[in-house]
Every structure is written in C-alpha cells, then in structure tokens.
C-alpha cells in the first residue's frame, strides 16, 4: 500500500510522528530537569530554582533550531566532507588540551565564547557520518573482508582511544566504538569476521570482570575495577563507588508502581549524585513510579521505530547508514543509561538522550534527529521496493503522514 | 543503452543493498526491543522486591539540616549582685574550604582564595601559610577552625566584609564579594571575674554542661539551661524553611556569699600563709587553712575560704604552688592528679580532721542537757588522768588545779572533761553525737562534702579510753562545716540550721524561680543550756585560752582547739578557733582551722585565734554589728591604721602580694 504524497511530493515528506515524539521527550525532559534540579539550583544560585531549567531551555531551543536547519540540508553533502568531518572531530578532542578546564578531575569540555561544549558529543555525529561514508563506498564483499572490517573500525577506534585517554571519558569511548561496530554489523550481511571480533571483545570483558572479582582482595585495583565490584555488590561499597548506584536503586525501588508524585522525589535533595543528569531515570521512577519509567522506555521504543522507519523508503545506502548510526547511538545510550540506573551493568556516566540536563548532549542529538528527518524527506515511495512482510508498517506509515 | 541499463542495474543493486540495510536495522530494532523488555522486567523486580525497604532507607537518610543553639550557662552572683561566675559569647572563625574551592573553580581563578585568606590574616591574625596549606591539603573540608574564641567585637570587624549592603550603599560599604566560605560559630565560655575569689565555693566549668566542684557542680542542672535547635525542613513547595526553637538560658544563682567578706577572709588566710611561709619547714604557712563565716540564726554562709587556692579561670595552673621540676616529677610519678584534687576540693567541707578542744562545749552541752552534770561541779586536774590503764595528759601537763565547769571550758582542761564524759556515759555521748550531726553530712548545697560516718565512734568502738579522748575532740573526725553548723546551734539557742550557700534561683530574665529559705532542722539543746554554753564560751575569750581572738570593741565568745594529728607524737597539730559575735546574742559564727601551721611548736591555738581576730576586725564593722565596748586609745590607733590599710590600700596590697608571689615562684 503506497502512502499518499504529502504536499509537494516526496521531497517535502515530513515525519511528524518523529517530531512529536521528540518534542514530547524534550518537554518531558524539561519538566524532569526542573523537578530534579530546582532544589540543587536554589542552593547553588541564591534561591534561583530555575537556573538549570533556563539553561536547558536555551539548549533545547538551539538544538531544535539546529535540527530544523539540518533537516533541510541534503544528506548527500556530508559524504563529500566526511574526511574533513572526521579530522575536525579529532581536532575537537585535541582542543580540550588548550581550551579545556578540569572539572571533577576530568577535562571534558572546551570553552569558546563563554560556552562550554563537550567534544565527545560532536564526535559522535562525526563518527556516524564518517563510518556511513566508508561503508557506503565499499561493496558488500569488501565490507565482509578483514580489510573492510578493519578499515571501518580503526578510525572509530582511534577516536575512541583519544576520548578515553585525553578526556578520560570511558562512556563516550564505548559509545563511539559501539556505534561503529553496530553500523558495520548492519551494513555487512553475515560478516563473521566482525562477529568473531565482537565475541572476542565479549569474552575479554567477561574475563576482565572475573579477574577483577578474583583479585578483589589484593586491593591493587584501579577505580574502574572497584566500579565493577560495586556493581556486583553495591551495599558493600555504599560509601564509595557503590553510593550513587545504591541511591539510584533506592530511588527506583521507593517509587513503587505509581511513584511518589511529580516533584516529590526525596533522592534529588542531594542524595543521588547527578540526579538531573546521568541518574535522571532513577528520579523519574521515584516520582512517577514503574509506570513512568516504562512510559519513558515506550517513548524511546516509538522514537527508535520512527527512526528505523525513515530507512524503509530510503533508496540510498549512505542515507540508510546514517539512519542506522543515529539509531544505534540513541539505542545504545538509552540502554546503557537505564541499565546503569537499574544496576544492570557497571556504573558509567551516560546522559539519557533528550531528557537529561546537558546542553551539548541535547543539541547534537537533535542535530542527529535533523539528519534522520532529512533522510526521511528523501523517501522514494515509488522506487523503493515493496516492504518486506516482516517489517510491514503500512498502518503506521499512514498515521505518520497525517 | 547498455550503459543506461548498467546504470539502472547499479541503481537497483544500490536500492537492494539499502533495502537490506533497512531490513537488518529492523532486526536490530527487534533486538533493541528485547533489551528494553529485559530492562523493564528488571525495573519491575526492583520495584516489586525492594519498594518497602528502599522507602525506609530513603527516609532514614533524611537528616534535616539542624544546628544546636547553645544555651547560656547561668551566672553565679554574691548576695550583693557581684558576679562571681558568668558566661560570655565567643566565636570560632570557621572556613568552608569546599565552598571557597568551588567559587575559585567557577571564577576560573584564585582570587576568592587570595582575598579570603588575606582578610582572615588581616583581621584575625591567622597564619597565611597554615591556612593555605590546609586549603591545599583538604580541599573538601567544610569545617576548618581558623581561630578559636574571638570576641563579639573582633567578629564585628569582619562582618561588614561579608554582609551584602542594601542597594545604593554599595560604594561606602566594605563588602567584598570574593570573600567566601567564612562563618562564625557562636558558643559560650565560662569566666570568673574575681579569679580565685571563693574558688572552693564556686567550682569551675571547663566545657559546656560539665562542671567540677562547688556550686557549679552541685547546681549544674540549674545553671546549664536547655539548648535550642535551628532546623530546616522542606515545605510543600520544596523550599527550605527553617524553624528555631530558642535556647533556654540557665538560671542565675544568688548566693549568700558576700564577696567583700569573702575577700577580707581570703586576704587574712593568705597573709597568714605568707607570713609563716618557709618558717619552720619548707612550704606554705600551713598545710591548709580554712575559714567559714556564717550567720548564726539562718545557716547562711557568708564566706567560705581556704588557702592555698587557685584561679578559677585557669584551674590547671599549679605554678604558684609547685616548681616546674616538681610538676614534672609529679606527672612522672602519677601524683599530679592528687595534687589537683587536693587543690580543687573545698577544704571546709571535704577535708576531715580531729576537732580538738572545740568539741568541749559540745561535751558540756551533752552533760547539761542529759542532766548528768549540773554545772556547779568542780574537778581537779593534776596534769593527767588514767583511763582504762592509759595515762591521758592534759595540754597543761602541770595541771590546772581545781576547776569549775566554766573554768574547765575556759582553760580547756582535758582532765576535767574526761571526768565529765565519764558521767555522761557512752550512750549519751553517741546519742548527742548524732544530735549534733557529727558523722553525718550537713547537706550544704555544695558538691564534694565528705562522708564521715565511718570516721566517728559507734557502740562497738567507743570504749572508755575512746570516750575519754572524745570528750576533748580527739579520736574521731569531722568536717569544718559540721563543726560550724553545730557550734552555731550551741550558741544560738539550740537551733540547728542546715548550712546553705544559695539563697535564690533567678531565671535568666531575672524573675525568681525559687527562694531558698533558711532551713531549721531541729532543736539540739534547750535555750537554757544554750545560754549556759554561750556564757562558758564567752569566758574562753575573757578569761581563758581564746583571749587573743578578741577584736577591739567587740565582746565575743569562742573556743580554741588543738588536736594532734595521726600519727601521734610527731609534733603535728591542727589548731582551730570557733567563735560567735556578739557575745550575748550571736549573729555571726566564724570558724578558723589551721592544718599544721608552719611553726616549730604547732600545739598553740594562738595562731587560729589571731587569724580569727584579724578576720573579725575586718568583717564586723562591714556587717554593721555595733561595738559594745569602749575602745582604749591604743586600740583606736590600731584600728585606724587597719582601716587605712583595709579601705585605701587594698588594691595596692593585693598587687604587692602578687608581685611577692611571682618573686617567690621565680626564687624557687
């Protein structure tokens, strides 16, 4: 069933469902940022409880503007500048050295014109575009060969390593590496070489964890090692690495099914570190309960579905790979954030997209949405082959057009 | 054609690949969906299994920001309102290093730290290097005491620097927005404006709520007050609200002590000690010398002093009594604690001694009251008496000859008293021992009164020889306050009043919380007997051993006491003198005890008599007790000289004394 053309043909096709979901998440995010930050904000800024909300509001406005701009730029252009974008990403990370400022023992921000920007967020877009370009220029055969696999993974690996060693930002390093790996996995059908690599990485991780747990008594572990022990038994490390995670669990657990009510969290009153940032999901669960938490998850599922749908009528490999990258980025970040908040994986700081407080994060993720919108604009409903039965989303497509 | 078909094929292949990417993304989407489902299940289990426990945990970590507001400890004032002990507000300067560091970080420079430290150095004389070092070393500290115990005035010099001025006044004000993290912690310290005055009575409080000795300890609950609290809670609008429960300051004690009398007494005690310092042996003029002045008809203590004394503001300072070497040695031997204890405890209520002949009027009163002696008997003293195969000597070993009862008291004849007590008998003696409260606490409102119930005789231990020596106050132990209270009852008509030091308890605002009235415990002897005893005691001063105690212009009565200490025979004595003024209608009791005066021949009650006379000469005019006798010219001249020294040179004298004291300490 072919959907109707919207207004001036396919070029003007616009996925309103995607927009609405994004706007809903942003609005919900602002409410939660206000709820979680007003107490800390009024303590830190002479009773001004709106301080963080205002800053987040500005970031969201800037992000929405950028999203609209990006959604009008034909995505094909990026292919031409891919190498430039990649090099710019590297430069951004290096800029941390002269322009960065150490906060909480880590150099992660660069300061230009009084604004602080986190290069890690720029780099994520950069790696999506660059990897998509690399993969789209290869044939299927090349993609599955060792050469293709390494050619795709090494640039991401370099960025990943830089993020880890220069900005000591493990979370972003993991994300960059995982985005590239996911894109390769999806671009290259039956690429066993990649599976072997992933399996090796998996085995390595498990081995590392076992090693750390075995060596728990020796006391010569780095702080990352302690994080893993704290993950396995947060109560035993309640004063140290387990504190945040335990407080997060308290938040989630105490909310019950329906929560304490919007704004009534107790954990946000200085007990849960990074309550409006990495741990905002815990506060959502505390205030709105399991219901609220699951609703947020549902919204992300809908968002990912809309993003994936942009690829259905896209006839261009590069466009699809861009969508894949954005999809992978958002999916991984949401999963890791919620998994950390529920202590399903060891603690690593990761903002919840659209919702967490943080300017760079929301601006660049909205730009990624802009990318997806632009790809969706180029949907070719005529030329695209009929959708496969498995992913038939006709009904929804119609709805999206309304 | 071929080209175009190739192109078309390529395009189609491209579409196919794009399509397959989309398909695989769909599969990936399903995988992501599964992960989300797993996470949802995990969330569900966390909520289901831990809801109640985690709710409790959250509640238990809600520590509302609360702050204790210290109560001000009540004052101790004398009968005229002179402040003997008070609490003053002082402040600790606290630096919140974390706040300072955060400000530095948000400014991106070091100005906040430099400015703050500079201000602390300039105004409080803090050590720049120490403060900076601390900030470096403990960047997360929120409580660093920069300086302790500054006064309100010192603090006020800093306040303008951190007080935000009102709009428009910005230019004149000293406000400096870079000064960060400095605040003041208010608390109270105890101070004693009169330093060592009445130290035994007052006691001291080194930290809030803890007090040692004297009134401070006895009335600690009354003085302490109730601490208040300032605490914060979150209102419905999630705003931090604060509520203050104000502190209730401690109550004020109005004592019966008269600071002037106390001062006169202490001056004389010190003068005695200084006069005989290093006289017969090395050391003070007496091991200890104590004096109680109290009202005969109420039991109110007007003065209670002993020497050596100590400075209440610095009770740990022993330098006036011991050299540094001594102190070192004592701390090595572990006897330092004993030295402190000896100095701090109130000699007048805590130390026990054998009363000696001051007991004699008590013994006679027992006889008269029980009818075992009539008062008209005569006794022969040949210098000693054999009782139960022990030969017990009179202090006058030559013998006093024939004596009436009155004469026996006046001449303080042991032999006559031993004959009397034989008639009185052990049972009567023991009965009256407890009637006179000897062996029982007087329950004076001071901490540290000794128990003496084990130090007096009972039915089993009071045999003939013990009874004989008891008649003149040897063999059992008493405290000064027991003797003073008993003596007052002997001469005031027989009324035994509980001695007390506090007359009124006032609230911090000055309203009366409690009036403490004189407490009549019992009548110990009849009026008649009391008249006779008073007459006998008057004879002690007019015709007997106590003549040296008579102050010019006043008729007084009293009784000397000389008691050999244990172990016997080494020439060590406690000499004492108890007296009442005026002679016929006693208002004031004065009791002086000198423990081992520093003289070669200690068994002479003249030392205590002379000190008593000096004290009485000072205090009787002050108490507005009229003179009853004409003064001779010599006495007049003597008094005039004394007046000058008492009234005009008091300040200078005490300064001189201090100098002497310093000299002596240095000399040692």
pLDDT tens readout for residues B203-242: 998 876 788 899 999 999 899 888 888 777 666 555 667 7
* Domain definitions of chain B by residue range: 88-191, 631-668
> What phi and psi values does residue A118 have, to the nearest 5 degrees?
-100, 110
Nearest CA in chain B to A185: B24
Letter string b/e over residues B347-360, b meaning 16 or more CB atoms within 10 A of that residue's CB: bbbbbbbbbbbbbb
According to the model, what pLDDT value does residue B392 have?
A: 87
Confidence category of residue A402, pLDDT binned at 50, 70, 90: very low
Cross-chain CB nearest to A311 (options B25, B40, B49): B25
Q: What is the dihedral of CA B592, B594, B595, B599, to 10 degrees?
A: -170
According to the model, what pLDDT value does residue B660 have?
A: 41
Per-residue pLDDT of B623-633, as tens digits, reads 999 888 888 88
Residue A184 lies in a domain: yes
Query: B622 CB near a chain A CB, below 8 Å?
Result: no
Mean pLDDT of B64-89: 85
Per-residue pLDDT of B156-177, as tens digits, reads 888 888 877 766 666 667 777 7
Residue A85 lies in a domain: yes
Which residues from chain B sit within 8 angstroms of residue A183, using beta carbons? Answer: none
Residue A202 lies in a domain: yes
Cα–Cα distance for residue pair B201/B447, rounded to 1 Å: 9
**Per-residue CA distances from B586 to B524, B555, B614 (Å):** 17, 10, 18
Tokens of B419: 């004959």
- DSSP assignment string, B512-535: EEEE---EEEEE-S-HHHHHHHHH
| DSSP-assigned letter for residue B407 | H
Which residues from chain B sit within 8 angstroms of residue A267, using beta carbons? Answer: 58
Confidence category of residue A113, pLDDT binned at 50, 70, 90: low
Which residues from chain A sit within 8 angstroms of residue B13, using beta carbons? Answer: none
Element (H, E) at B386: strand B384-387
Percent share of chain B, pLDDT over 70: 92
User: Total structural domains in chain A?
Assistant: 1
Cα–Cα distance for residue pair A9/A15, rounded to 1 Å: 13
Confidence category of residue B35, pLDDT binned at 50, 70, 90: very high
Mean pLDDT of B190-199: 90
Cross-chain CB nearest to B25 (options A253, A289, A324): A324
Cross-chain CB nearest to B26 (options A308, A331, A344): A308
Are B57 and A255 a contacting pair at CB < 8 A? no
Cα–Cα distance for residue pair B646/B641, rounded to 1 Å: 9
Give the mean pLDDT of chain B: 85
Mean pLDDT of B20-41: 92
**Which residue from A247, A337, A269, A293 is spatially nearest to B54, judged by alpha carbons?**
A247
- The C-alpha angle with vertex B431 and arms to B426 and B437, in degrees rounded to 5, equals 125
Are A253 and B23 a contacting pair at CB < 8 A? no
Per-residue pLDDT of A211-261, as tens digits, reads 777 766 555 555 567 777 788 888 777 777 788 888 888 889 888 888 888
Residue A347 lies in a domain: no
Q: How do strand B76-77 and strand B252-255 relate by DSSP bridges?
A: parallel
Residue A328 lies in a domain: no
Per-residue pLDDT of B449-483, as tens digits, reads 999 888 899 888 888 889 999 999 999 999 999 99
Cross-chain CB nearest to B62 (options A266, A294, A383): A266
Burial group, residue B317, by CB count within 10 angstroms (0-12, 13-18, 19+): exposed
Nearest CA in chain B to A140: B17
CB B540 within 8 A of CB B560: yes
Q: What is the dihedral of CA A14, A18, A23, A24, to 10 degrees?
A: 140
According to the model, what pLDDT value does residue A392 have?
A: 39
Mean pLDDT of A136-156: 85
Element (H, E) at B301: strand B301-307
Cα–Cα distance for residue pair B159/B532, rounded to 1 Å: 72
Per-residue pLDDT of B532-545, as tens digits, reads 999 999 999 998 88
> How many other CB atoms sit within 10 Å of the CB of residue A246?
22
Per-residue pLDDT of A339-391, as tens digits, reads 999 998 888 888 999 999 988 899 999 999 999 999 888 877 665 554 444 44
Are A297 and B46 a contacting pair at CB < 8 A? no
Cα atoms found within 13 Å of the Cα of residue B257, Cβ hemisphere only: 33
Cα–Cα distance for residue pair B415/B141, rounded to 1 Å: 79
> How many other CB atoms sit within 10 Å of the CB of residue A139?
11
**Per-residue CA distances from B579 to B269, B296, B412, B560 (Å):** 17, 10, 15, 9
Letter string b/e over residues B212-224, b meaning 16 or more CB atoms within 10 A of that residue's CB: bbbbbbbbbebbb
- DSSP assignment string, B152-173: HHHHHHHHHHHSPPPTT-TTTS
Are B22 and A391 a contacting pair at CB < 8 A? yes
Per-residue pLDDT of B99-125, as tens digits, reads 888 888 777 778 888 888 888 888 888
Q: Closest Cα of chain A to B124: distance in Å?
A: 28
Q: Provide the domain limits for residue A173.
A: 80-214
CB B534 within 8 A of CB B494: no
Ranges A146-160, B219-233, B246-260: which has the least confidence: B219-233
> If you search the block for the tokens 């070091």, which residue do you land on?
B110
Coil, helix or strand for B235?
A: coil
Confidence category of residue B362, pLDDT binned at 50, 70, 90: very high
User: Highest mean pLDDT: which of B70-74, B315-319, B589-593?
Assistant: B589-593
Tokens of A37: 């930050």
Tokens of A289: 């309960």
According to the model, what pLDDT value does residue B299 have?
A: 92
> What phi and psi values does residue B444 have, to the nearest 5 degrees?
-60, 145
* Three-state secondary structure readout of chain A: CCCCCCCCCHHHCCCHHHHHHHHHHHHHHHHHHHHHHHHHHHHHCCCCCCHHHHHHHHHHHHHHHHHHHHHHCCCHHHHHHHHHHHHHHHHHHHHHHHHEEEECCEEEEEEECCEEECHHHHHHHHHHHHHHHHHHHCCHHHHHCHHHHHHHHHHHHHHHHHHHHHCCCHHHHHHHHHHHHHHHHHHCCCCHHHHHHHHHHHHHHHHHHHHHHHHHHHCCCCHHHHHHHHHHCHHHHCCCCHHHHHHHHHHHHHHCCCCCCCCCCCCCCCCCCCCCCCCHHHHHHHHHHHHHHHHHHHHHHHHHHHHHHHCCCCCCHHHHHHHHHHHHHHHHHHHHHHHHHCCCCCCCCCCCCCCCCCHHHHHHHHHHHHHHHHHHHCCCCCCCCCCCHHHCCHHHHHHHHC
Confidence category of residue B574, pLDDT binned at 50, 70, 90: very high
According to the model, what pLDDT value does residue B20 have?
A: 84
**Per-residue CA distances from A136 to A76, A133, A145, A185 (Å):** 11, 5, 15, 13
- The C-alpha angle with vertex B274 and arms to B272 and B278, in degrees rounded to 5, equals 115
What region does A346 belong to: left with phi over 0, alpha with psi -120 to 50, or beta? beta
According to the model, what pLDDT value does residue A216 have?
A: 61
Are B43 and A266 a contacting pair at CB < 8 A? no
Query: What sign does the dihedral A270-A275-A281-A283 (CA atoms) show?
Result: positive
């Amino acid at each position: 069933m072919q959907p109707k053309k919207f207004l001036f043909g396919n070029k003007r096709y616009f996925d309103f469902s995607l927009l609405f979901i994004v706007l809903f998440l942003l609005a919900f995010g602002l409410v939660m940022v206000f709820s979680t930050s007003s107490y800390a904000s009024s303590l830190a800024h002479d009773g001004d409880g709106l301080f963080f909300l205002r800053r987040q509001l500005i970031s969201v406005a800037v992000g929405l503007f950028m999203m609209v701009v990006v959604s009008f730029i034909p995505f094909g252009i990026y292919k031409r500048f891919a190498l430039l974008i990649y090099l710019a990403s590297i430069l951004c990370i290096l800029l941390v050295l002269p322009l960065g400022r150490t906060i909480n023992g880590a150099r992660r921000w660069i300061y230009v014109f009084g604004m602080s920007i986190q290069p890690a967020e720029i780099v994520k877009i950069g790696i999506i575009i660059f990897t998509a370009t690399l993969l789209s220029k290869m044939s299927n055969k090349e993609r599955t060969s060792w050469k293709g696999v390494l050619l795709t993974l090494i640039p991401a690996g370099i960025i990943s390593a830089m993020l880890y060693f220069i900005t000591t930002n493990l979370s972003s390093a993991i994300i960059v590496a995982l985005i590239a790996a996911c894109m390769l996995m999806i671009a290259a059908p039956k690429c066993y070489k990649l599976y072997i690599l992933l399996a090796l990485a998996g085995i390595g991780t498990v081995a590392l964890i076992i090693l750390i747990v075995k060596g728990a008594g020796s006391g010569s572990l780095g702080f990352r090692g302690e994080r893993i022990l704290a993950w396995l038994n947060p109560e035993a490390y309640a004063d140290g690495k387990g504190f945040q995670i335990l407080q997060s669990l308290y938040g989630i657990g105490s909310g019950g099914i329906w929560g304490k009510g919007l704004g009534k969290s107790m954990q946000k009153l200085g007990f849960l570190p990074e309550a409006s940032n990495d741990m905002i999901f815990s506060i959502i669960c505390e205030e709105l309960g399991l219901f609220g938490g699951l609703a947020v998850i549902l919204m992300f599922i809908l968002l990912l579905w809309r993003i994936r749908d942009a690829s259905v009528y896209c006839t261009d490999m590069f466009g699809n790979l861009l969508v894949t990258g954005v999809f992978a980025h958002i999916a991984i970040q949401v999963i890791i954030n919620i998994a950390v908040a529920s202590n399903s994986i060891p603690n690593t700081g990761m903002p919840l997209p659209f919702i967490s407080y943080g300017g760079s994060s929301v601006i660049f993720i909205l730009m990624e949405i802009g990318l997806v919108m632009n790809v969706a604009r180029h949907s070719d409903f005529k030329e695209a082959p009929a959708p496969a039965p498995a992913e038939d989303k006709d009904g929804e497509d119609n709805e999206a057009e309304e | 054609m071929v080209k175009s078909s190739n192109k078309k094929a390529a395009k189609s292949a491209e579409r196919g690949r794009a399509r397959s990417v989309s398909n695989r993304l769909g599969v990936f989407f399903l995988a992501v969906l599964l992960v989300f489902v797993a996470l949802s299940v995990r969330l569900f289990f966390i909520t289901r299994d831990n809801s109640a426990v985690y709710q409790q945990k959250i509640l238990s970590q809600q520590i509302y920001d609360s702050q204790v507001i210290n109560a001000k400890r009540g004052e101790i004032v004398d009968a005229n309102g002179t402040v003997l002990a008070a609490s003053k507000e002082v402040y600790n300067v606290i630096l919140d290093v974390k706040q300072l560091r955060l400000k530095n970080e948000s400014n991106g420079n070091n100005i906040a730290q430099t400015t703050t430290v500079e201000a602390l150095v300039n105004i409080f004389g803090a050590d720049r290097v120490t403060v900076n070092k601390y900030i470096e070393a403990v960047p997360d500290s929120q409580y660093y005491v920069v300086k302790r115990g500054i006064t309100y005035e010192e603090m006020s010099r800093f306040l303008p620097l951190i007080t935000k001025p009102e709009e428009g006044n910005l230019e004149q004000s000293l406000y400096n927005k870079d000064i960060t993290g400095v605040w003041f912690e208010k608390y109270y310290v105890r101070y004693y404006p009169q330093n060592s005055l009445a130290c035994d009575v007052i006691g001291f409080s080194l930290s809030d709520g803890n007090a040692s000795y004297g009134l401070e300890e006895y009335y600690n609950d009354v003085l302490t007050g109730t601490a208040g609290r300032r605490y914060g809670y979150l209102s419905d609008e999630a705003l931090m609200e604060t509520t203050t429960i104000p502190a209730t300051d401690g109550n004020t004690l109005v004592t019966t002590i008269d600071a002037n009398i106390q001062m006169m007494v202490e001056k004389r005690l010190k003068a005695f000690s200084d006069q005989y310092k290093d006289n017969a042996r090395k050391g003070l003029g007496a091991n200890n010398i104590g004096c109680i002045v109290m009202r005969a008809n109420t039991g109110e203590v007007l003065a209670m002093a002993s020497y050596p004394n100590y400075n209440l503001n610095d009770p740990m300072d022993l330098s006036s009594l011991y050299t540094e070497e001594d102190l070192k040695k004592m701390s090595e031997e572990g006897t330092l604690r004993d030295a402190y204890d000896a100095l701090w405890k109130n000699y007048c209520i805590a130390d026990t001694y054998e009363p000696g002949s001051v007991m004699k009027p008590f013994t006679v009163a027992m006889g008269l009251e029980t009818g075992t002696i009539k008062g008209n008997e005569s006794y022969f003293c040949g210098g000693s008496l054999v009782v139960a195969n022990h030969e017990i000597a009179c202090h006058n070993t030559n013998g006093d000859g024939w004596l009436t009862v009155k004469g026996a008291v006046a001449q303080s004849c042991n032999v006559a008293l031993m004959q009397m007590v034989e008639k009185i008998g052990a049972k009567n003696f023991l009965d009256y021992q407890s009637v006179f409260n000897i062996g029982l606490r007087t329950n004076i409102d001071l901490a540290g009164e000794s128990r003496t119930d084990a130090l007096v005789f009972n039915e089993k231990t009071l045999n003939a020889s013990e009874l004989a020596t008891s008649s003149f106050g040897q063999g059992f132990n008493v405290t000064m306050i027991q003797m003073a209270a008993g003596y007052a009852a002997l001469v005031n008509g027989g009324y035994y009043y509980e001695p007390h030091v506090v007359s009124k308890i006032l609230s911090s605002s000055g309203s009366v919380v409690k009036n403490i009235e004189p407490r009549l415990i019992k009548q110990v002897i009849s009026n008649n007997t009391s008249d006779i005893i008073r007459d006998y005691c008057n004879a002690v001063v007019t015709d007997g051993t106590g003549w040296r105690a008579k102050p010019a212009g006043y008729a007084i009565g009293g009784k000397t006491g000389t008691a050999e200490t244990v172990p016997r025979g080494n020439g060590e004595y406690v000499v004492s003198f108890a007296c009442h003024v005026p002679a016929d209608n006693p208002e004031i009791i004065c009791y002086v005890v000198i423990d081992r005066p520093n003289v070669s021949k200690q068994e002479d009650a003249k030392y205590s008599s002379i000190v008593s006379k000096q004290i009485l000469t000072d205090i009787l005019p002050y108490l507005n007790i009229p003179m009853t006798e004409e003064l001779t010219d010599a006495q007049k001249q003597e008094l005039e000289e004394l007046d000058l020294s008492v009234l005009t040179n008091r300040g200078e004298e005490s300064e001189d004394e201090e100098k002497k004291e310093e000299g002596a300490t240095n000399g040692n």
